[in-house]
Amino acid sequence: MTTSEAPVAETLAAMTAVSLEASTLSARELMIARIAALAAVEAPSVSYALNVGAAVDAGVTLADAQGVLVAVAPLIGTPRVVAACAGLADGIGFVIAMDESAV
């Protein structure tokens, strides 16, 4: 049994780290691909929140995220892109709220 206070978040962070190490993509490219994948599967806001920190650390900007959604729109459709915009905004908001509560 784990003694961690956030075992799920820590496991997901470890999976991201392994993914970064195993990939031939740069960290920025990998996180851009993840944003596209999250949009394609209509991921919930918390999924975006769990990836926002790593994406920002890798140099992904809001303009990059918007560009990804524009690029995948013809493939995944308007409803998924709209859902991704909302999920991304909610995820960023969640991360900001968590940072503010830690202060």
Supply the pLDDT for residue 58. Answer: 92
- Helix ranges, the chain (H): 7-22, 27-40, 45-57, 62-76, 78-102
**Tens digits of per-residue pLDDT, 51-83?**
888 899 999 998 999 999 999 999 999 999 999
Q: Which residue has the tokens 């190490």?
A: 21
Number of neighbouring beta carbons within 10 Å of residue 37: 14
Number of domains in the chain: 1
* Residue at 16 is within a domain: no
Length of the chain, please? 103
* Residue at 64 is within a domain: yes
**Tens digits of per-residue pLDDT, 13-50?**
888 889 888 999 999 999 999 999 999 999 999 899 88
* Residue at 60 is within a domain: yes
- Domain limits at 75? 26-102
Q: How confident is the model at residue 102 (pLDDT cuts 50, 70, 90)?
A: low
* Residue at 2 is within a domain: no
32 or 10, higher pLDDT: 32
* Residue at 21 is within a domain: no
* Residue at 11 is within a domain: no
